[in-house]
Amino acid sequence: MNKKALLIEIFLMFICPPLLIVFGFLPKESIMPILWAVTLYAYLYLRRKEIKVFALDFKRKDLYAVLKRYLIISILMILFILIYEPENFLALAKAKPLFWLLVMLLYPFLSAFIQEILFRNYFFYRYETLFKGHLLLFMFVNALLFSYVHIIFDNWIAVIFTFFGGLLFAQTYLKTRSTLLTAIEHSLYGNTLYTLGLGHYFFHSAHL
């Protein structure tokens, strides 16, 4: 596929859906069905190319590196909410413990892993030819698109947090080429956000 066609595909798959939601052509609740549908297309494409998606394909040292980084960043997240929103600390877990538990169980499978198939596995395989010799730019564009999707939540915290999260996940994926490890990392941060009480920035009856 030529570069123009790939750019059109990026627009249709990654840029267009959030715009339709932001401008009211689609309800906000449609973001998850759209995500699942687009990811299904991406998964079927990867499967035809015999690209690994479901595989225990990372080294123990890479998992340890992810966990060490997570511990440091999670401390910063705790400090953030204690300083700026102490009243929301552990709010969801306290107010709705069963719902919080449901989020902890379902988010990794229905959201984080799905997103990593699309934004990392598919994206880096499909569009690598557009950024040959420009790996940092490739990572930046990936993180930018990942954060851009979160404009549907109508706040800058979601966009900023997911931009830096996108950089972390892109770095992990490019280093390990493991969708599973990147999804584990994504799940850790997502579940921590909801647990600490920052989930309201990423929620409107559908959570991404």
* Segments making up each domain of the chain, as ranges: 3-202
Q: Return the structure tokens found at 61.
A: 């040292």
Looking at residues 83-112, what average pLDDT do you find? 96
Determine what percent of the chain is predicted with pLDDT higher than 70: 97
Distance between CA atoms of residues 189 and 196, nearest Å: 10
Choice between 203 and 131, residue whose per-residue pLDDT is larger: 131
Looking at residues 85-100, what average pLDDT do you find? 96
Confidence of residue 90 (pLDDT cuts 50, 70, 90): very high
Q: In the chain, count H helices and then E strands.
A: 11, 0
Helices 156-176 and 60-84, interaxial angle, to 10°? 170
pLDDT for 102 beyond 90: yes
Sign of CA dihedral 84, 89, 95, 99: positive
Instruction: Give the model's pLDDT for residue 133.
Output: 83
Q: How high is the mean pLDDT of the chain?
A: 94
DSSP 49-71: TT---S-----HHHHHHHHHHHH
pLDDT for 94 beyond 60: yes
Distance between CA atoms of residues 53 and 178, nearest Å: 8
Looking at residues 135-152, what average pLDDT do you find? 96
197 three-state secondary structure:
coil
pLDDT for 203 beyond 90: no
15's enclosing H/E stretch is none
Lowest-confidence segment of 51-55, 64-68, 82-86 by average pLDDT = 51-55
Single out the residue of 47, 48, 37 nearest to residue 13, CA to CA.
Answer: 37
Confidence of residue 132 (pLDDT cuts 50, 70, 90): confident
pLDDT for 205 beyond 60: no
Choice between 31 and 204, residue whose per-residue pLDDT is larger: 31
Length of the chain: 208
Instruction: Give the model's pLDDT for residue 204.
Output: 59
Label residue 72 exposed, middle or buried (CB < 10 Å: 0-12, 13-18, 19+). exposed
Distance between CA atoms of residues 198 and 49, nearest Å: 38
Determine what percent of the chain is predicted with pLDDT higher than 90: 91
